[in-house]
Amino acid sequence: MKENMTMIKKYPSKVSYGLLIFIFLVFYGPLIPNLINGDLSGKMIGLIGFLSLIFAFILHLFFGTHYTIENNKLKIKCGFFSYKPIKIDEIKEVSKTKNIISSPAPSFDRVEIKYGKFDEIIISPKDKLNFANDLAIINPNIKNNITE
């Protein structure tokens, strides 16, 4: 039953703050001894500025990630990047996963979507249950393994 073909729902991504703290410490941790010793040379300030730009880009990716269900398509946006829309009619299965492969999922609380012939993508919607249920409303053939 495809009565909700014009449904538009946007799901923000869940964000693992522990991962962000880890990245912050990797970026800035090695600089702490230099800062404690008062080494604020031009090179150090330039390095801090450069690392801050990269970290700001990472923050934008983390907090700019969302998933939109629109017109029988799942649209995935990760910061400045947009993925090719997935036809919801081609989705076969939605399941929780612990896979840490690189993906548009800034959290370790992830969902794997299998679609097409052999395709899959890992995402991390904040509200996994309603997200999976909304997909199943459009395509009742989806094997929905998200129960909580």
Asked if residues 9 and 75 have their Cβ atoms less than 8 Å apart, the reply is: no
Task: Delimit the domains of the chain by residue range.
Answer: 1-148
Has residue 20 got a pLDDT over 60? yes
Distance CA 58, CA 118 (A): 30
pLDDT at 28: 93
pLDDT at 101: 79
pTM of the model: 0.82
Residue with tokens 């907090």: 63
Distance CA 52, CA 129 (A): 36
Asked if residues 76 and 67 have their Cβ atoms less than 8 Å apart, the reply is: yes
Question: In DSSP terms, which residues pair with 74 in a beta bridge?
Answer: 69, 86
pLDDT at 4: 46
pLDDT digits (tens, 9 = 90+) for 93-106: 999 998 887 788 88
Has residue 53 got a pLDDT over 80? yes
pLDDT at 131: 93
Has residue 132 got a pLDDT over 90? yes
Calculate mean pLDDT across residues 22-50: 88
CATH number given to 1-148: 2.30.29
Give how far Cα 44 sits from Cα of 27, 30, 48, 90, 91, Å. Answer: 13, 12, 6, 51, 50
pLDDT digits (tens, 9 = 90+) for 76-98: 999 899 999 999 999 999 999 98
Which own/partner pairs from 116-125 qualify as long-range (CB within 8 Å, at least 24 positions apart)?
116/90, 121/76, 121/83, 121/86, 122/97, 123/13, 123/67, 123/76, 124/13, 124/14, 124/65, 125/11, 125/12, 125/13, 125/14, 125/67
CA-closest candidate to residue 30, choices 17, 39, 19 = 39
SS3 (DSSP) at 30: helix
Specify the DSSP element, H or E, that contains 42: helix 42-63
Has residue 2 got a pLDDT over 80? no
pLDDT at 37: 84
pLDDT at 1: 44
